[in-house]
Amino acid sequence: MEQNKSSDVVWHHATVTRERRQALNGHRSVMLWFTGLSGAGKSTLAHSVEEHLYQLGCRTFTFDGDNVRHGLCSDLGFSAEDRVENIRRVGEMAKLFLEAGVIALTAFISPFRSDREKVRSLVPHGEFMEIYCRCTLEVCEERDVKGLYKRARAGEIKNFTGISSPYEEPVDPELVVDTGALSLEDSVSMVVEFLRDRGVIKRGNH
User: Who's near 18: CB < 8 A, 6+ residues apart?
Assistant: 29, 98, 99, 100, 101
Secondary structure letter of residue 38 according to DSSP: T
Catalytic residue among 43, 48, 110, 187: 110
pLDDT digit string, tens, across residues 161-174? 888 888 999 999 99
pLDDT level of residue 204 (50, 70, 90 thresholds): low
pLDDT digit string, tens, across residues 105-116? 999 999 999 999
Whole-angstrom distance, CA of residue 132 vs CA of residue 146: 21
Task: Kindly list the distances between the CA atom of residue 130 and the CA atoms of 14, 85, 194, 204, in Å, as whole numbers in the listed order.
Answer: 29, 19, 12, 25
Whole-angstrom distance, CA of residue 20 vs CA of residue 13: 13
Instruction: Record the pTM.
Output: 0.85
- Domains of the chain in start order, with CATH, are 31-197 (3.40.50.300)
Among candidate residues 25, 34, 16, the one with its CA nearest the CA of residue 53: 25
Average pLDDT in the 45-60 region?
96
pLDDT of residue 71: 65
pLDDT digit string, tens, across residues 1-41? 455 566 666 656 778 887 888 887 889 999 999 999 999 99
Element (H, E) at 51: helix 42-55
Among candidate residues 104, 87, 130, 106, the one with its CA nearest the CA of residue 43: 106
Whether 165 is a known active-site residue: answer: no
